[in-house]
Amino acid sequence: MKAPVLLSAILTAASSTALYNVNPSSHNGGSPDASFVSFSIEFSSFPDFAGNKSHPNEFSYNLLNNLGRLSGSKPYVRVGANTQDYALYNASLQVGLDGVVDPSRSPDYPTTIQIGPAFFESYRTWPGVRFSHGFNLGLGGNSSEGWRTLIDTAPLACLAIGGDNFYTWEYGNEPNNYATSAQGPVRPKSWDAKAFTKQWLNGSEAIQAQMRKHCPKPAHGDYLSFMAPSYDDRVSNLNATVAWSEGLDKHGSVRWYSVHNYIDGAMSPGVTLQQTLMNHTRTTRDVDEQVAEYKRIMSVNEHHAPLIFGETNSLYNQGKPGLSNSFGATLWGVDFNLYSASAGFKRVHMHQGTNYRYQAWQPIDTDKTAKGTKAPYYGSIAVAAALGDLTRDSVSVSSIPMSSDAEAAYAIYSKGSLKGLMVINMHSYNTTKGGEGVEPLPSPSPRPSRDFSFSVDGLRPGASARIQRLMANGSDAITGVTFDGWSYNMELDNGKPVRLHNVTTGEVIRASRGVLTVRVPDSSAALVHLG
Ligand SMILES: *[C@@H]1O[C@H](CO)[C@@H](O)[C@H](O)[C@H]1NC(C)=O
Ligand SMILES: *[C@@H]1O[C@H](CO)[C@@H](O)[C@H](O)[C@H]1NC(C)=O
Ligand SMILES: *[C@@H]1O[C@H](CO)[C@@H](O)[C@H](O)[C@H]1NC(C)=O
Ligand SMILES: *[C@@H]1O[C@H](CO)[C@@H](O)[C@H](O)[C@H]1NC(C)=O
Ligand SMILES: *[C@@H]1O[C@H](CO)[C@@H](O)[C@H](O)[C@H]1NC(C)=O
Ligand SMILES: *[C@@H]1O[C@H](CO)[C@@H](O)[C@H](O)[C@H]1NC(C)=O
Ligand SMILES: *[C@@H]1O[C@H](CO)[C@@H](O)[C@H](O)[C@H]1NC(C)=O
Ligand SMILES: *[C@@H]1O[C@H](CO)[C@@H](O)[C@H](O)[C@H]1NC(C)=O
Ligand SMILES: *[C@@H]1O[C@H](CO)[C@@H](O)[C@H](O)[C@H]1NC(C)=O
């Protein structure tokens, strides 16, 4: 038993909520695939995150390995997003990537980009991680220079990634924005789903032809497959149902149906932690709409492509400071990922880039952001811990409907039987001035806790359950996050797990009359392990 500093101070003023019934065996749940907890890395930031042959980024690799140990396989990394569609190949370039930031187009990433042969070294720095490389359709289908890039880089990508590290390919990021992009349009307004389909097929066939010519015999059948369409079809002017009926998947080359999602925009009016992110209703609305679109598309397609979030995070435009980098966003991430799993998503790639506000970690020091593990990373850890080893047992997840949109709970089943509950208390609680995460309040108000009771049929009297908590000082905290007393902060051991001795761990609760009651402080989550 560790010194109970945190919990004794906060477990006051408990108010009970309703009693929830939980099915002891799985029914209608979603079943996540291996490496459900995955990442998407901004194309132009990939050399920062992964490093290169002479300077591999060990800190990033440690953070990926922590998740790999919990999940049974390491996260998959999609390398792509807006900047994949600006990258042109220059065989003489001495560095991996050379980018020019034009603040009038975007202050956060370069919009003029050259990549050299060394870019592909970055795929060799994280043994055991699977990748998708994002090819350029924005300029690739638009200019002779872009087309040359496609022909030149397809062999470099397949040689660097090889069969062992291969996940899938991607051709174009959010092509629905090409005609209207705020960073500069690359297609005429008339460009529609039919024109998109024609160009996508032409380019993806060219990529495959190059790979057949230059790369060793594929290790498995998926080798020349893609994720697509890589946009949010709900707000799209390239209706994906039309693209599919025009034959986008006529060769069965779409292995993963990849959609993008952001709950709202960093600059959108009325965006707050409580209303926008720590709000289960908002999360379920987005995920449910995505699932409905997906079902419509698969109903016109003869090939089945499992559903993934190929790129997602809290607030588009790289996130909002004080929101996307806060512990509140960490709790949102747990809710979003587990709800997605319950609704049938097979994998979720949380997006990040250097200096992005919603990033799980900053891979290098810059003048904007210090290198380090960021609060959202701990959400990925909690989700991975909740699902457990996905390579061994069949795992399924069901959402338990709650009475408040600031609360969420999930039942997690292994081989059909209940093995855990994740309870997420998203009622906001602040300990810094103005909830800005910077200056501590001299005497914050006491932290409320709530009792969540779950009735489970067949639970034997006195059955015990182990608790692991996802904890920080409040929803406004941007540092000091722990999961089950573990810190993954860079300062401690370069991202490797370090057990802190000032956080309570090892709590056990017992069932009473078939009911398990877990007390959860506001702005925290508890993972309950049964049996
Ligand atoms: C390609 O890179 C080399 C080396 O940095 C540079 O001299 C050359 O101008 C670049 N080519 C183009 C077309 O920008
Ligand atoms: C490899 O990474 C180091 C450290 O970031 C950098 O100095 C070097 O230029 C990189 N090498 C190439 C070929 O990009
Ligand atoms: C190529 O992109 C430019 C903008 O960069 C656009 O004006 C032009 O219409 C595009 N051409 C084609 C063939 O789509
Ligand atoms: C594919 O695209 C290339 C480059 O734009 C073009 O030269 C070629 O004609 C296209 N092929 C087809 C079948 O459209
Ligand atoms: C896409 O097209 C289908 C079939 O025409 C239609 O039912 C659906 O509402 C459209 N989706 C969107 C987002 O407009
Ligand atoms: C959560 O979102 C829903 C839908 O936008 C909204 O009606 C509700 O008021 C929000 N809840 C909170 C606590 O802001
Ligand atoms: C925490 O701070 C935010 C930002 O000022 C505020 O919107 C929210 O209401 C605060 N929460 C509580 C419980 O006071
Ligand atoms: C969390 O709160 C404790 C107690 O008030 C304080 O000592 C500590 O510095 C805070 N941690 C962070 C990261 O703000
Ligand atoms: C717990 O210990 C860590 C590491 O020594 C320290 O950074 C943190 O501020 C402590 N937390 C509290 C709540 O005292």
Question: SS in 3 state form for 70-101?
Answer: HHCCCCCEEEECHHHHCEEECCCCCCCEEEEC
- Taking the chain (531 residues) in runs of 10, the rounded mean pLDDT of each run is 38 61 91 98 98 97 98 98 98 98 96 98 98 96 92 97 94 96 92 96 96 78 88 91 95 96 97 98 98 93 94 97 97 98 98 98 98 98 98 95 96 96 98 93 96 93 95 98 98 98 95 94 98 81
| pTM score of the predicted model | 0.96
Alpha-carbon gap, residue 165 to 77, rounded angstroms: 10
Alpha-carbon gap, residue 281 to 261, rounded angstroms: 15
Q: How far is residue 140 from each of residues 51, 161, 190, 200, 252, measured CA to CA in Å?
A: 26, 21, 18, 10, 22
Of all atoms in ligand 1, which is nearest to the CA of residue 90? 1
Q: How far is the CA of 92 from the centre of ligand 1 (A)?
A: 6
DSSP calls for 203-219: HHHHHHHHHHHHSPPPS
Q: How far is the CA of 137 from the centre of ligand 4 (A)?
A: 12
4 lines ligand 9 (CB under 6 A): no
8 lines ligand 9 (CB under 6 A): no
8 Å CB contact between 230 and 136: no
pLDDT of residue 221: 60
8 Å CB contact between 514 and 456: yes
pLDDT of residue 220: 58
pLDDT of residue 163: 86
pLDDT of residue 188: 95
Residue in 52, 58, 90 to alter for ligand 2 test, most ligand atoms within 8 A of Cβ: 52
Q: Which residues pair with 520 in a beta bridge?
A: 450
101 lines ligand 2 (CB under 6 A): no
Of all atoms in ligand 5, which is nearest to the CA of residue 242? 2
Q: Which ligand is nearest to the CA of 207?
A: 4
Of all atoms in ligand 3, which is nearest to the CA of residue 187? 14
Alpha-carbon gap, residue 128 to 253, rounded angstroms: 24
Q: How far is the CA of 202 from the centre of ligand 4 (A)?
A: 6
Of all atoms in ligand 8, which is nearest to the CA of residue 473? 1
Q: Which ligand is nearest to the CA of 54?
A: 2
pLDDT of residue 3: 37
pLDDT of residue 408: 98
Degrees to nearest 5, angle at CA 451 with 280 and 397: 45
pLDDT of residue 443: 94
Residue in 10, 278, 428, 436 to alter for ligand 7 test, most ligand atoms within 8 A of Cβ: 428
Of all atoms in ligand 3, which is nearest to the CA of residue 143? 1
239 lines ligand 5 (CB under 6 A): yes
pLDDT of residue 219: 53
Q: Give CA torsion, residues 99, 104, 109, 111, to 10 deg.
A: -50
Residue in 278, 323, 430 to alter for ligand 7 test, most ligand atoms within 8 A of Cβ: 430
Of all atoms in ligand 5, which is nearest to the CA of residue 234? 13
Q: Which residue's alpha carbon is at the smallest distance from atom 2 of ligand 8?
A: 473
Of all atoms in ligand 6, which is nearest to the CA of residue 275? 14
Residue in 6, 7, 431 to alter for ligand 8 test, most ligand atoms within 8 A of Cβ: 431
- Which tokens belong to 517? 């009651």
- Which tokens belong to 206? 């060219």
pLDDT of residue 16: 53
Q: How far is the CA of 52 from the centre of ligand 2 (A)?
A: 6
143 lines ligand 4 (CB under 6 A): no
Q: How far is the CA of 287 from the centre of ligand 5 (A)?
A: 17
Alpha-carbon gap, residue 287 to 281, rounded angstroms: 10
